[in-house]
Structures are given as structure tokens and as C-alpha cells.
Amino acid sequence: LRLTHNLHVHSVVSNCAKREMLIPDIAAEAQRVGLNTIAIVDHIDLAEEPDREEAVLANRKIVEKLDGPVRVLAGSETTVIAPGVPAASEATRRDLDIVLLALNHYHLANVERPQPETPEAYAKHHLLMMRSAAALPYVHVIAHPFCHSKLPDLDLAETLAAYDTGEVRETLALLAQAGIRLEINPGHVRVAPQFFGDAVRIARQVGLRFTTGSDAHRLENIAYGDHVGPLLESIGLREEDIALPDSVARRAR
């Protein structure tokens, strides 16, 4: 399995990223490790924070000045605050090359949580977040889907077990119809290979495809390790399942 893009990389514009994460150096590292496309997706977590949106949009100017062989997309990882409510405005999303939606940032104080906070309720709420995302303009990828490891009191295995397969299928079909891709993060696959294997199987049935991303916050995490190809093959992923979102590919040409 040849992986040619990493669509989840944070630059210094994200406070959680290392100070070494300067866009020219990210591009150089991507070239060094043989990637042909990379997406800089800095955080927009709070609604109506124009300064933040400006800072993320400013990455476009840096990207435009690059002249290396790696295609660099200026984008954002945007927190969804409640079903159908992304933090980034529609105008900002339109002006970015790629928008990843984070539907699982339940650890942030401004993000709606299901009540009561049971594994079943979280599974239902996360699917509702996904279905609502399918109706939004200018969104391209669901970042780290089905990742429930940010809340210390929520058991990951119990939450994944609480997903209803029929509901998952309906939800993934809606995403596929909207042209939205699901991100595969190798680190998350490793802790729940069975669940993600099922997801890949269902996705293929409904025509949903994937992007890959490592959620890199430091240069050394831009490359995928040697174990990642075999790991993704082991959950049934094939090269034809992985592709840039169509609208992103058109724009980046």
C-alpha cells in the first residue's frame, strides 16, 4: 500500500504544534519522505473568532510562495461545536483549500456533550455530528472519526461497541453522497483494528473513500512509519480506497 499524502499536519499557527513546524520545513520534510501532497490544517476551535480565522487563512500566502515539488494545501481542522455547527465561518471555509471537521473534540468546554454521558449516547451523538456534517458546504474530510480517547472517563472499547452497524452504514452513505472523505489515522487504527476493518468494509459498500493523515505536530511525525502500510492492509484498505476529495483535487491542480 503506497501512501502519497498526509492531509493532517499542524503548523506553528496551532499552539499545540512544535515551534519547528514552519510550512517550508514541513514541505521539505514531506519531500524527503516521499509524499506528494500535504495539508496544513490549523485549529479553529471557537466560533466567531475572526482573528483566529485570519491567522489560519494567512497560511495561504506562505503556501503560495513555495516552489518545491510537494503540493501543499492551506486548510483547517475545524471543531464542530454542536451538530451542524462548525467553528469556522462559511466564508473562511470557502477560502481554504481543504477543511477537516473534528467531530470528537468533546474535551473542549465549548463543545456540546450528549446527556447522559454514556458510551451509547456518545456513539449516537458522534453519528449525528457526522450526518449533520454531510449537509454543510465547504467541508471535505472528517478528521479522526470514531476517536473517543480524549475523555478520560469514556471507555473507548465500550463506545465503539455501542455503534449500531445499520446506523453507521446510513451515516457513511450520506457522507459518500456529499463527497466527504473519512480520515484514516494509523495511530487510531492500531488501537481498534477490528472496528476500523468493519468501517472500511461498510464504506466500500456505500462508496465512501478515505484520506490518510497522521495529525503531525512535529516534523518526525509527517512520515508514516514502515509498519503503517501493512497495518492499513490488514484492515482491508486498498490503494483505490484512498484519494483526495474531488473538489480539493480540482482546486489544487
Per CB under 5 A, contacts with Zn ion among 48-77 are: 77
C-alpha separations of 37 from 14, 48, 153 in Å: 20, 30, 37
Using an 8 Å Cβ cutoff, are 193 and 226 in contact? Answer: no
Question: Count of CB atoms within 10 A of residue 240's CB?
Answer: 8
Tell me if residue 118 falls in helix, strand or coil. Answer: coil
Tell me if residue 253 falls in helix, strand or coil. Answer: coil
Q: Is residue 215 a contact residue for Zn ion (CB under 5 A)?
A: yes
Output the smallest distance, CB 43 to Zn ion, in A: 7
Q: Which residue has the cell 502500510?
A: 229
Output the smallest distance, CB 47 to Zn ion, in A: 16
- Residue count, binding to Zn ion (CB under 5 A): 3
User: Which span (31-39, 46-54, 66-74, 98-106) binds Zn ion, by CB under 5 A?
Assistant: 98-106
User: Which span (68-76, 101-109, 189-197, 240-248) binds Zn ion, by CB under 5 A?
Assistant: 101-109
Nearer to Zn ion by Cβ, of 85 and 206: the residue is 85
In the set 39, 44, 72, 102, which binds Zn ion (CB under 5 A)?
102
Distance (Å, whole) CA 129 – CA 215: 20
Output the smallest distance, CB 101 to Zn ion, in A: 10
Using an 8 Å Cβ cutoff, are 170 and 134 in contact? Answer: no
Per CB under 5 A, contacts with Zn ion among 172-201 are: none
Per CB under 5 A, residues contacting Zn ion are 77, 102, 215
